[in-house]
Structure 1
Amino acid sequence: MSERLHLHRDGPVARLRMTRAQVHNAFDAGLIAGMTAALEDVAGDAGIRVLVLEAEGASFSAGADLNWMRGMAAASEADNREDSLALARLMRTLDELPKPTIARVQGAAFGGGVGLVACCDIAIGVPEAKFGLTESRLGLLPAVISPYVINAIGPRHARRYFASAEIFDAAEALRIGLLHQVVPADELDAAVRQQLALLLKAGPIASASAKSLVRAACAHADGARHDADNAALIARLRVSPEGQEGLSAFLDKRKPHWIDA
């Protein structure tokens, strides 16, 4: 795809791999634009059901590229705003991707790299992985990624790590909710495959709609309206072709058509 990214499709599974190992997969304008475009392609491909986000080398993503940061430090406020909006678009595109997503975290993630992990629906890492929201050391804050990180780890943990910029390990990432699972490095691919198998057994439309359901539930202030919306959703799913097939397969004690025999 480019020297920064590789998008590979294997049947219903797409793998988007960051390939800037020489700079620890740090962000620059090119990587941000390329990732956004790749995610938009995945979103529009009806044949893709799950995305795995992964990286080459020792690190998952070191956050901002130093040369890129140096250039933005010399740019105008307006240019910095446009640059930040590009990163915001990347994070929102990943967070709202209409496919389940898995982060395969084989190494360290800092700054925006933590944002990528937080935007994925499932995050699996290795014990050696380190994490940090280190922006405050530079007099900055992880503003663009903050909605996704706060959703992942909660306000109290976010207040601590946004302010302290301290580095934490995979065990702490698991404890606070940034990672869902920590496995030895030689078991990482098997753990990802296990999650893929589970996701591919679910109804494609139901699986793809899960995150929008959660988002709506968290955003709803009107309880009665929320109940009505959820009732409408389950009714729509029950009478849909996928819902009918899933219910019929369950009652007939067979696999639904979306699972290979």
Structure 2
Amino acid sequence: MANLADSRELAELMHNLYQLKIPTLAVVQGAAFGGALGLISCCDMAIGTVDAQLCLSEVRIGLAPAVISPFVVQAIGERTARRYALTAERFSGQRAQELGLFAECYAADALEPAVAEWVDTLLLNSPQAMLASKDLLREVGSGVLTPALRRYTENAIARIRVSPEGQEGLRAFLDKRKPAWQEPQA
């Protein structure tokens, strides 16, 4: 029973990270094997060093990447996930970028400044609009444009357009000034 409870806790952790209301950025240097690769896959974006080492290592120790698999498949695709889950071969940060797992790769000494730049870029954006975008992208992630999905997207833009941050962003754009969320906080 404890075994199943542990599995459920891990699944809940992955789900909560994936559903987090704020942008998530995984930063990888060194090794990220098994569950660590799952956590990376749950994040909105990931960056890492060129020489980072990643691996879906579970089959080497007689396990399967069960709880992390939905997130890994979503991040790199089913075919690629099959390759790495079945072979347990290691791949580099450079390869992680080629697979779409990493948005960018950096030399080890350039990683810290890159993280600061990513954070600064995110801080320029409307928190409410980023939340709405995350919700929207999760909904449309299937790629199937059903009438219900079309209505969802129509309602999403209608809601955000009239929201306080939406109105402030539009006014700031028209007034050629920074929106309030970009102003320094006192």
**Greater strand fraction, Structure 1 or Structure 2:** 1
Quick check: 1:83 aligned with 2:6?
yes
Matches within 5 A, 1:128-167: 128-167=51-90
1:221 Cα deviation after fit:
4.8
In the alignment, residue 33 of structure 2 is paired with which amino acid?
Answer: F
1:219 Cα deviation after fit:
4.0
Contact map agreement 1:220 1:226 (CA 8 A) in 2:
no
Look up the SS of the partner of 2:180 in the other structure: coil
Quick check: 1:173 aligned with 2:108?
no
| Cα distance in structure 2, aligned partners of 1:106 and 1:187 | 11
| Cα distance in structure 1, aligned partners of 2:158 and 2:131 | 17
1:146 Cα deviation after fit:
0.5
Unaligned 5+ segments in structure 2 are none
| Cα distance in structure 2, aligned partners of 1:253 and 1:221 | 37
Match of 1:186 in 2: 109
In the alignment, residue 146 of structure 1 is paired with which amino acid?
Answer: S
Matches within 5 A, 1:175-254: 175-219=98-142, 221=144, 223-254=146-177
| Cα distance in structure 1, aligned partners of 2:147 and 2:43 | 30
| Cα distance in structure 1, aligned partners of 2:142 and 2:48 | 29
Matches within 5 A, 1:88-103: 88-103=11-26
- Give CA-to-partner distance per residue, 1:40-93, whole Å, 9 cap, x none: xxxxxxxxxxxxxxxxxxxxxxxxxxxxxxxxxxxxxx3211111111111111
In the superposition, the TM-score normalised over structure 1's length comes to 0.68
In the alignment, residue 83 of structure 1 is paired with which amino acid?
Answer: D
Look up the SS of the partner of 2:141 in the other structure: helix
Q: Which has the higher contact order (CA 8 A, sep 6+)?
A: 2
Q: How many residues align?
A: 184
Contact map agreement 1:91 1:119 (CA 8 A) in 2:
yes
Contact map agreement 1:136 1:162 (CA 8 A) in 2:
yes
| Cα distance in structure 1, aligned partners of 2:144 and 2:3 | 34
1:126 Cα deviation after fit:
0.7
| Cα distance in structure 2, aligned partners of 1:210 and 1:105 | 24
In the alignment, residue 65 of structure 2 is paired with which amino acid?
Answer: P
Unaligned 5+ segments in structure 1 are 1-77
In the superposition, the TM-score normalised over structure 2's length comes to 0.94
Contact map agreement 2:132 2:160 (CA 8 A) in 1:
no
Look up the SS of the partner of 1:104 in the other structure: strand
Choose from 31, 47, 53 the match for 1:124.
47
1:209 Cα deviation after fit:
2.6
In the alignment, residue 129 of structure 1 is paired with which amino acid?
Answer: A
C-alpha RMSD over aligned residues: 1.3
1:220 Cα deviation after fit:
7.0
Look up the SS of the partner of 1:258 in the other structure: helix
